[in-house]
């Protein structure tokens, strides 16, 4: 490291100290490169640092949602439940930071504001919120897919007299809603996890629903020590089997390879019922065409609607809670007691699909001409996903072109790893990679390993610069459109498409299919980084 006119020189700047940034730092060290991580928050863990709302937990099982790069770590860390809670995952992130001595190269409470590629030296000039200036050969974004909260621009939003909370920026010390009248806006995964817990405390709880959501039970519980022992005895094999699954998880649950349209009603019922009883995200894995054929999809959708009607006592409320879009085209929710919460007399559901929320008022909010009054208001309104956080940073590549400009018609990347015109710039789980369609721990490790190997390859071959060609990037964007277009993933207003943020360009952002993606990445490397330009 050298210091020149207050600019500190580094091999790599990593943005974000979630699971992506932490492992990236570890890998940079392993290839002998000096990296520094900047993190806006005051601790590690990213998602699990910020999303401390009641009931926050994983929807991927804990033996799978963890790092696999270090066998001693996965052998020694004890998960307590089938689905880990947010506090437990945050403890794990802190344990990893200590175990691998990561903190000495992480600067907390520091936001990266801008990064400009200086073509002369071929380095990134980076500025941070503490006034720091940094020069790095590589700029690596571990900024997360779900790290910029989305709060709709409701009229009067600042006028509410009570406290407001966003699930994605929850106060670290928690919130006690005991005896309060509480309003919750949204019925996505964050709402579906938090509503049953908030209902236990609140005197009166009103949920404002724009789109009903599909949710399957978690059937969470303590981990079975025998099952844990069995996984640990063959952990590498377990990980390898999971990496061959489309979402990089769930290899122990049988998958069906036949069409639901060719099955008998009894076979279908038995399969869906057993998956409902098992719980979790493998609910749609029993047949191979739930996400390919609208008639097939409707069968699973109607099964869930029947379950909702059987759980919720009041028929009108049950009908309002029944979703009617394609099941699986938004990430399936996994809940504990969500639908049954609506049987409590102090829990109310207000449909805002036809009468949008008009405004926030000093006492509550107004919709359909009625004012609802609360003591506290919770925004469970999600994120400006996949691109929001990246575009908040003023990133300028070759010729001063901004990332904002390069992506004005939606994100364009090669493999979700690099952007043409932005040399030595890497995005971990960037748009164009499987990321949010998978167990993200697996996707993150695959990307970090690819990037670290690439940096090592460049030095070994006397190269200093790597950049995707425009042609390779165009072809990759086409491939994603083609694959996603052949599924039902495009068929609803999901955040995968950016449809949840008014004005955002509607483009399907993640790449469906983890194993295919890994094959392509490996093949590109085996062919001398095909589609990239490498220069001295």
Q: State yes or no: residue 40 binds ligand FAD (CB under 6 A).
A: yes
Max CA separation in the chain (angstroms): 74
Q: State yes or no: residue 88 binds ligand FAD (CB under 6 A).
A: no
Give the separation between CA 459 and CA 454, rounded to whole angstroms.
9
* Cβ-contact 469, 531 below 8 angstroms: yes
The residue range among 185-193, 243-251, 261-269, 292-300 that interacts with ligand NAP, by the rule CB under 6 A, is 185-193
User: Which of the listed partners (ligand FAD, ligand NAP, none) does 444 bind, with a CB threshold of 5 to 8 Å by partner kind?
Assistant: ligand FAD
Nearer residue to ligand FAD within complex by CB, 149 or 516: 149
Can you spell out the DSSP letters for 3-48? EETTEEEEEEEEE--SHHHHHHHHHHHHTT--EEEE-SSSSS-THH
Q: Which tokens belong to 194?
A: 């938090």
Cα–Cα distances in angstroms (integers) from residue 110 to residues 22, 37, 75, 79, 322, in the given order: 15, 9, 34, 31, 44
Give the separation between CA 207 and CA 349, rounded to whole angstroms.
5
If 0-12 CB within 10 Å is exposed, 13-18 middle and 19+ buried, where does residue 107 land?
A: middle
Give the separation between CA 153 and CA 446, rounded to whole angstroms.
37
User: Which of the listed partners (ligand FAD, ligand NAP, none) does 321 bind, with a CB threshold of 5 to 8 Å by partner kind?
Assistant: none
Going through 108-262 in order, the beta strands assigned E by DSSP cover 112-118, 123-128, 133-141, 164-166, 181-185, 204-209, 215-217
Q: State yes or no: residue 191 binds ligand NAP (CB under 6 A).
A: yes
User: Which of the listed partners (ligand FAD, ligand NAP, none) does 15 bind, with a CB threshold of 5 to 8 Å by partner kind?
Assistant: ligand FAD
Contact string (CB under 6 A) for ligand NAP, positions 4-43, x = contact: ----------------------------------------
Q: State yes or no: residue 39 binds ligand FAD (CB under 6 A).
A: yes
The residue range among 237-245, 283-291, 302-310, 438-446 that interacts with ligand FAD, by the rule CB under 6 A, is 438-446
Out of 17, 37, 63, 146, the only residue in the binding site for ligand NAP (CB under 6 A) is: 146
Report angle CA 68, 69, 74 to the nearest 5 degrees.
45
Nearer residue to ligand NAP within complex by CB, 127 or 429: 429
User: Which of the listed partners (ligand FAD, ligand NAP, none) does 41 bind, with a CB threshold of 5 to 8 Å by partner kind?
Assistant: ligand FAD
The residues with which 164 forms a beta bridge, in sequence order, are 377
Looking at residues 379 to 398 of the shown chain, list those that interact with ligand FAD (rule: CB under 6 A).
389, 393
Out of 26, 52, 123, 210, the only residue in the binding site for ligand NAP (CB under 6 A) is: 210
Give the separation between CA 256 and CA 28, rounded to whole angstroms.
40
User: Which of the listed partners (ligand NAP, ligand FAD, none) does 331 bind, with a CB threshold of 5 to 8 Å by partner kind?
Assistant: ligand NAP
- Least spacing, CB of residue 83 vs ligand NAP, in Å: 8
User: Which of the listed partners (ligand FAD, ligand NAP, none) does 187 bind, with a CB threshold of 5 to 8 Å by partner kind?
Assistant: ligand NAP
User: Which of the listed partners (ligand NAP, ligand FAD, none) does 195 bind, with a CB threshold of 5 to 8 Å by partner kind?
Assistant: none
User: Which of the listed partners (ligand NAP, ligand FAD, none) does 381 bind, with a CB threshold of 5 to 8 Å by partner kind?
Assistant: ligand NAP
Q: What is the dihedral of CA 55, 60, 64, 69, to 10 degrees?
A: -80
User: Which of the listed partners (ligand NAP, ligand FAD, none) does 245 bind, with a CB threshold of 5 to 8 Å by partner kind?
Assistant: none
Q: Which tokens belong to 398?
A: 């070759």
The residue range among 6-14, 179-187, 340-348, 415-423 that interacts with ligand NAP, by the rule CB under 6 A, is 179-187
Give the separation between CA 84 and CA 90, rounded to whole angstroms.
10
Number of residues that bind ligand FAD (CB under 6 A): 36
Give the separation between CA 463 and CA 122, rounded to whole angstroms.
11
Contact string (CB under 6 A) for ligand FAD, positions 122-151, x = contact: --------------------xxxxxx----
The residue range among 15-23, 467-475, 495-503, 527-535 that interacts with ligand FAD, by the rule CB under 6 A, is 15-23
Report angle CA 34, 96, 334 to the nearest 5 degrees.
125
* Cβ-contact 92, 23 below 8 angstroms: no
Report angle CA 58, 430, 94 to the nearest 5 degrees.
45
Rg (CA), the chain: 23
Q: State yes or no: residue 187 binds ligand NAP (CB under 6 A).
A: yes
Q: State yes or no: residue 281 binds ligand FAD (CB under 6 A).
A: no
Q: Which tokens belong to 30?
A: 């392993």
Question: What separation, in Å, do the N-terminal and C-terminal C-alpha atoms of the chain show?
Answer: 21
Nearer residue to ligand FAD within complex by CB, 148 or 317: 148
Contact set with ligand NAP (CB under 6 A): 58-59, 146, 152, 167, 185-191, 193, 208, 210-211, 331, 334, 352, 357, 380-383, 436, 493, 495, 500
Contact set with ligand FAD (CB under 6 A): 15-21, 38-41, 46-47, 49, 51, 56, 58-60, 65, 111-112, 142-147, 190, 389, 393, 428-429, 439-440, 444
């Amino acid at each position: 490291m050298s210091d020149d006119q207050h600019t500190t020189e580094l091999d790599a700047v990593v943005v974000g100290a979630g699971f992506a940034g932490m492992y990236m730092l570890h890998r940079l060290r392993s290839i002998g490169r000096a990296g520094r991580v900047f993190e806006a928050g005051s601790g590690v863990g990213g998602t699990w640092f910020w999303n401390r709302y009641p009931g926050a937990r994983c929807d991927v099982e804990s033996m799978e949602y963890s790092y696999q790069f270090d066998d001693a770590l996965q052998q020694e860390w004890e998960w307590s439940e089938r689905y880990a809670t947010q506090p437990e995952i945050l403890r794990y992130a802190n344990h990893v930071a200590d175990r691998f001595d990561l903190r000495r190269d992480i600067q907390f409470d520091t936001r990266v504001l801008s990064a400009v590629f200086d073509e002369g030296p071929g380095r990134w000039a980076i500025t941070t919120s503490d006034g720091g200036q940094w020069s790095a050969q590589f700029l690596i974004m571990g900024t997360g897919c779900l790290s910029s909260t989305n709060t709709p621009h409701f009229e009067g939003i600042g006028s509410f007299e009570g406290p407001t909370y966003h699930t994605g920026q929850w106060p670290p010390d928690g919130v006690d809603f005991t005896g309060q009248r509480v309003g919750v806006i949204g019925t996505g995964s964050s709402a579906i996890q938090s509503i049953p817990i908030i209902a236990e405390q609140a005197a009166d709880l009103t949920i404002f629903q724009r789109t009903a959501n599909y949710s399957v039970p978690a059937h969470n519980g303590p981990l079975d020590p025998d099952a844990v022992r069995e996984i640990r005895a063959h952990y590498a094999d377990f990980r390898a089997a999971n990496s061959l699954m489309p979402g990089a998880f769930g290899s122990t649950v049988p998958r069906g390879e036949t069409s639901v349209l060719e099955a008998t009603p009894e076979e279908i019922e038995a399969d869906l019922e057993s998956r409902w009883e098992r719980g979790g995200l493998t609910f749609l894995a029993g047949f191979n065409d739930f996400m390919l054929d609208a008639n097939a999809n409707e069968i699973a959708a109607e099964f869930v609607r029947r379950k909702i009607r059987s759980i919720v006592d009041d028929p009108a409320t049950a009908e309002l809670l029944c979703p009617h879009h394609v099941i699986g085209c938004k990430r399936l929710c996994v809940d504990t007691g969500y639908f049954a919460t609506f049987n409590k007399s102090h829990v109310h559901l207000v449909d805002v699909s036809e009468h949008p929320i008009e405004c926030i008022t000093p006492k509550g909010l107004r919709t359909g001409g009625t004012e609802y009054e609360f003591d506290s208001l919770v925004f469970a309104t999600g994120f400006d996903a996949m691109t929001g956080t990246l575009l908040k940073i003023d990133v300028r590549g070759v010729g001063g072109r901004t990332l904002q400009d390069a992506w004005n018609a939606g994100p364009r990347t090669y493999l979700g790893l690099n952007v043409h015109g932005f040399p030595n710039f890497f995005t971990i789980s960037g748009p164009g990679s499987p990321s949010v369609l998978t167990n993200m721990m697996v996707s993150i490790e695959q990307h970090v390993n690819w990037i670290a190997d690439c940096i090592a390859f460049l030095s070994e071959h006397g190269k200093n610069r790597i950049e995707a060609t425009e042609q390779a990037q165009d072809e990759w964007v086409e491939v994603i459109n083609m694959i996603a277009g052949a599924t039902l993933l495009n068929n609803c207003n999901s955040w995968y498409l950016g449809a949840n943020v008014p004005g955002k360009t509607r483009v399907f952002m993640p790449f469906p299919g983890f194993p295919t993606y890994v094959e392509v990445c490996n093949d590109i490397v085996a062919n001398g980084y095909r589609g990239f330009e490498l220069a001295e």
